[in-house]
Chains A and B, each alone.
Chain A
């Protein structure tokens, strides 16, 4: 079945507006947030219900056509990169919040719902949804589930996987399965635990049950200016070493501060070689005492200026510089790569020194922004595509930074995912057996390999014949050689 036939088959199911075949319109979906990978999808569908998603996936399965699910398209690893000969299943019309169950501290939402809208729906009841990727004003819950998205506050509260209690999943053969729900620990394997973060390779989540958390009684935020990243790193160690678990600790170096100032005039301390944003939240009685300790640790490790947010507006200003950092780098460099790697937090000073050596040796500038509390680095590698050779050099430096992460026992991605972008780095972090074992799960869910193929795994595993997985009419029956009883 060609894509034209597939489109004709799906039109009655989804309506004319739910099936896009116009070349010009298809091109608007050619990339996600990682814009240098571009593929125009063969067909775009916009389902509104679980049944419609299942119908699309069944049609793909029967036709042997690959499909890629996409939420808001803000991902930074090319996880939603389409297939030229495949279907792009866009969840943008699945935007209903189905239930807010305050007593059970759960919300049940469709996958196209925007992250921040969950918090907006919970806020009148005094609750919020904890995972807060920087793109939370636009990114979708379905995309968060696929990527196991993090955010600045996951140091204390964990990632999407710790806050999703259930999904209704359309499996790659078009079956609808409930994994988990409002209650914890459903009997059986924790399939939800592998589905979250599987980057769309195990099916499409059509309903998501998330945990709502009670809004903290107190939030205290400070901004501290340090002479350099070593001092700021020492402050982080002192804070964590004292047994404090802040809601967030974010660090920016001189170059990223410069970019943020140019873009959003955040007014960070003059002459700072590094700034730290430290946020504590929780019961007022706890936060007050711990906040005093944090201030002291910052001062003792060399902070020359400490500002404490007096109100929400000032807190927002502190965060503005940090949250705009990626885009802000555009002010000081025509092109840049946003890297995402993780190191054990204690290796921070050593790794930062190695990055600055890499930068000096290659002549490629690197701005550093990171979630310092959990060692999640976001080096921004700057280059100018119009200068011959610069893009290649930047790519090399960016890859070398990931090598540093692996050498120090870290990870090639802390929150952006492997997607299409880091497939080539997976064998540096995992052995063939590790990857083979992960793909056993893939084979169980998607033996035909049609759900977002080409992502995460460098080499697809050939899935064996699985007994008892026949769909539809048995061939013997179809041939009139047997009857079903």
Chain B
């Protein structure tokens, strides 16, 4: 009788030798993995997931790992599936403003490639190094979402490998398409819990000729809210309307508006925007510091706050109140024009006291109904993770569990990372 094939052998066979035992550094939110595999094609991903199914391996897929710690720490990880070899731009149909891209392609590399043809995928790189796959999995997008939509609005086709190794596609490579369910949207923001995205087709946009940034120190929450509303109600069609409020109550929030378009168009709209924002507004050609970046780095607490656009004042007031009550310095930055902001609390055992963070998050969640929004802790140091409910209340959780049950009945894809223990 021949000896049973070892997991490593099977993974190596599935990936043409691109598999190894995981070193101690290979961790997902602190949870150590046993193996790492680098499949180089959709077929190889399918083969890897079939091996994983056979050996009942728990699998977490990752690109550059820039957001790998986001979400709850998985219950266990056996295999980390890296998309680094899925790095091809499969097709760039410039005349159709469409690109088909593999999951491991970095946003920056894609921007360079598309930029040569005067086009772009209108997704900002909010975390350095981000790949297409991770961006879709976490639905991460920055300031330009206001004009171009979220990741879900730009994905027009998706190739997904299910937990059982079956390959499924939805959508296609035309923008207008209503044939069948839109699984591309379901995958956006699913944190790798439904399958492994290997390829996506995106709608592209032309790179504008000109751009300008108009900023105003807008003061307190009421002043900030009013400034944002003046711009949104004006005729200028901004690409982005961002708010940036550094930690500390005495610093006023800054509202910055990005305008993009033709040379003369942007010049005219810049004048209009300066007028809309009022006294003190200034225009500049380049983005302000940390434009589009989250107000927290590795090791810090990063909280996503979503709000009705008209709830901005109440949200900012709740953050200020929560910050004072919990005794935590809280920075807020994000897309006021969209209704998605991020709060950052510096990490480290002294700064981000788990009890204080729990108090802050709890307070924000209690006030969230007044701004029709939600509060999700994306990333935090381990002691904070242990103290807070990262995802918070979820509407439709029973349906979500049923979807997960259909796609991954053995709960082997990023188990426990998502809402409600999914």
Seen from chain A, the residues whose Cβ lies within 8 Å of a Cβ on chain B are 101-106, 126, 147-148, 150, 154, 158-159, 161-162, 171, 175, 177-179, 181-194, 196-198, 214, 216-217, 237, 240-241, 243-245, 282-286, 289-290, 342-346, 371, 374-376, 409-418, 422, 426, 429-431, 433-438, 440-445, 456, 466-469
When distances are taken between beta carbons in the complex, the residues of chain B under 8 Å from A105 are 232, 309-310
CB pairs A–B below 8 angstroms (22 shown):
A104-B372, A147-B178, A150-B176, A162-B153, A175-B398, A184-B150, A186-B395, A191-B399, A283-B237, A283-B269, A285-B272, A344-B98, A409-B172, A412-B179, A414-B174, A418-B178, A426-B179, A430-B170, A434-B169, A434-B180, A437-B162, A444-B405
> B340 within 8 Å of A by Cβ?
yes
Q: Does B402 contact A185, Cβ atoms closer than 8 Å?
A: no
A444 to B392, CA, bound (A): 23
B229 and A245 contact, CB distance less than 8 A: no
- How many Å lie between the Cα of A216 and that of B234 in the bound state? 10
Output the least CB separation between A376 and chain B (Å): 5
Evaluate contact between B93 and A344: CB separation under 8 angstroms.
yes
Q: Chain A residues near B395 (CB, 8 Å)?
A: 177-179, 186, 188
Contact A159 B183 (CB under 8 A): no
Is residue B166 contacting chain A, with contact meaning CB distance below 8 A?
yes
Q: How far is the CB of A453 from chain B (nearest CB, A)?
A: 15
A185-B176 contact, Cβ under 8 Å, with A198-B181, A444-B399 = no
Q: Are A190 and B186 in contact (CB under 8 A)?
A: yes
Residue in contact with B396 in the complex, picked from A179, A185, A344, CB distance below 8 Å? A179
Residues of B within 8 A of A374 (CB): 174-176
Whole-angstrom distance between the alpha carbons of A190 and B139 in the complex?
10
Chain A residues closer than 8 Å to B265, beta-carbon distance: 283, 285-286, 289-290
Q: Contacts A191-B396, A197-B181 known; list 5 others, CB within 8 Å.
A: A185-B340, A188-B394, A430-B170, A434-B168, A441-B406
Q: When each residue 145-168 of chain B gets 1 if its CB lies under 8 Å from chain A and 0 otherwise, what string results?
A: 000011011000000101000111
B170, B269, B309, B374: the one contacting A103 at CB < 8 Å is B309
Q: 1/0 per position for B241-269, CB-CB distance to A under 8 A?
A: 00000000000000000000110111111
**Considering the complex of A and B, which 5 residue pairs feature the smallest CB-CB distances, nearest first?**
A193-B185, A103-B310, A285-B268, A243-B206, A437-B168
Contact call B176/A187, Cβ cutoff below 8 A: no
Q: Is the CB of A161 within 8 A of B229?
A: no
B232's partner among A177, A214, A243, A345 (CB-CB below 8 A) is A214
Distance to closest chain B CB from A216 (angstroms): 7
Q: Which of A159, A186, A285 is in CB contact (< 8 Å) with B176?
A: A159
Q: Are B374 and A185 in contact (CB under 8 A)?
A: yes
Partner of A410, one of B172, B233, B267, B311: B172
- Name the A residues within 8 Å of B405 (CB-CB): 444, 466-467
Give residues 380-416 of B contacting A (CB, 8 Å).
Answer: 391-392, 394-403, 405-407
The interface residues of chain B lying within 8 Å CB-to-CB of A154 are 176
> Does B306 sit within 8 A of A, measured CB to CB?
yes
- Is the pair B267, A285 in contact by a Cβ cutoff of 8 Å? yes
Contacts of B400 in A (CB 8 A): 188-189, 191
Q: From residue 340 to 395 of chain B, which have CB atoms closer than 8 A to chain A?
A: 340, 371-374, 376, 391-392, 394-395
Whether the Cβ atoms of B306 and A241 lie closer than 8 Å is no
Q: A104-B309, A182-B308, A183-B306 are in contact. Are A344 and B96 (CB under 8 A)?
A: yes
Interface size class of B (residues with CB under 8 A): 35 or more
Contacting residues, chain B, for A283 (C-beta < 8 A)? 235-237, 261, 265, 268-269, 272
Contacts of A413 in B (CB 8 A): 177-179
Shortest CB-to-CB span from B231 to chain A, Å, is: 10
B13 at the interface (CB under 8 A from A): no
Q: Is B331 an interface residue (CB 8 A)?
A: no
Contact A214 B235, beta carbon cutoff 8 Å: yes
A375 touching B311 in the complex, CB below 8 Å, given contacts A191-B186, A197-B182:
no
A177 surroundings in chain B (CB, below 8 A): 395-396, 398-399
Instruction: Evaluate contact between B174 and A409: CB separation under 8 angstroms.
Output: yes
The residue from B190, B266, B310, B396 contacting A101, defined by CB atoms under 8 A apart: B310
Q: Which residues of B contact A (CB under 8 A)?
A: 93, 95-98, 118, 139, 149-150, 152-153, 160, 162, 166-170, 172-186, 188-190, 194, 205-209, 229, 232-233, 235-237, 261-262, 264-269, 272, 304, 306-311, 338-340, 371-374, 376, 391-392, 394-403, 405-407, 418-420
Contact indicator A430/B180 (Cβ below 8 Å): yes
CA distance A126 to B394 in the complex (A): 34
B186 contacts A193, C-beta separation under 8 Å: yes
Distance of A187 Cα from B118 Cα, bound (Å): 35
Distance of A221 Cα from B372 Cα, bound (Å): 39
Contact status B340-A187, CB under 8 Å: no
Using A104-B309, A162-B153 as known contacts, say yes or no to A188 and B372 having CB atoms under 8 A apart.
no
Contacts of A196 in B (CB 8 A): 182
Please name all residues of chain B whose beta carbon is closer than 8 Å to the beta carbon of A426 when the two chains form the complex: 179-180
Q: How far is the CA of A435 from the CA of B170 in the complex (A)?
A: 9
- B residues within 8 A CB of A190? 139, 152, 185-186, 188-190
CA distance A79 to B150 in the complex (A): 28
A345: nearest residue on chain B (CB-CB)? B96
Note all chain B residues with C-beta closer than 8 A to A284. Answer: 235, 268
Q: How far is the CA of A416 from the CA of B160 in the complex (A)?
A: 26
- A197: chain B residues at CB < 8 Å are 178, 181-182
What distance in Å separates the Cβ of A139 from its nearest Cβ neighbour in chain B? 15
- Given A194-B183, A414-B177, residue A240 in contact with residue B264 (CB < 8 A): no
Question: A185 to B209, alpha carbons, bound, how many Å?
Answer: 31
CB pair B180–A375 under 8 Å, yes or no, is no
Query: What is the chain B residue whose CB lies nearest that of A147?
Result: B178
Knowing A178-B396, A183-B311, A188-B396, the reply to whether A429 touches B179 (Cβ < 8 A) is: yes
Q: Are B183 and A437 in touch, CB under 8 angstroms?
A: yes
CB contacts (< 8 Å) of B150 on chain A: these are 184-185
**When the two chains form their complex, are residues B308 and A104 in contact, meaning their CB atoms are under 8 A apart?**
yes
Chain A residues, Cβ within 8 Å of B391: 187-188
Q: Are B181 and A188 in contact (CB under 8 A)?
A: no
Given the known A-B contacts A158-B149, A162-B153, A188-B394, are A289 and B178 also in contact in the complex, defined by CB atoms under 8 Å?
no
Q: How far is the CA of A240 from the CA of B118 in the complex (A)?
A: 12
Nearest CB to that of A287 among chain B residues? B265
In the complex, A340 Cα to B176 Cα: how many Å? 11
Closest residue on chain A to residue B162 by CB atoms: A437
Bound complex: CA A269 to CA B167 (Å)? 51
* Shortest distance from the beta carbon of B362 to any chain A beta carbon, whole Å: 16
Given known pairs A187-B376, A237-B95, A289-B262, the reply for A466 and B402 (CB within 8 Å) is yes
Name the A residues within 8 Å of B95 (CB-CB): 237, 240-241, 344-346
Complex Cα–Cα for A356 and B347 (A):
67
Among A106, A411, A468: residue with most chain B CB under 10 A? A411
- Distance between Cα atoms of A130 and B309 in the complex (Å): 18
* Contact A430 B169, beta carbon cutoff 8 Å: yes
Report if A410-B174 is in contact (Cβ < 8 Å); known contacts: A187-B392, A344-B96: yes
Complex contacts, B168 vs chain A, CB 8 Å: 431, 433-434, 436-438
Whether B264 lies near A285 (C-beta < 8 A) is yes
Most buried by B among A182, A185, A456: A185
Q: How far is the CB of B405 from chain A (nearest CB, A)?
A: 6
Minimum distance in angstroms from B233 CB to a CB of chain A: 7
Quick one: closest A residue to B236, CB to CB? A283
Q: Chain A contacts of B176 at CB under 8 A? A: 150, 154, 159, 342, 371, 374-376, 411, 414-415
User: Which residues on B sit within 8 Å (CB–CB) of A103?
Assistant: 229, 309-310
B contact residues around A376 at 8 Å (CB): 176
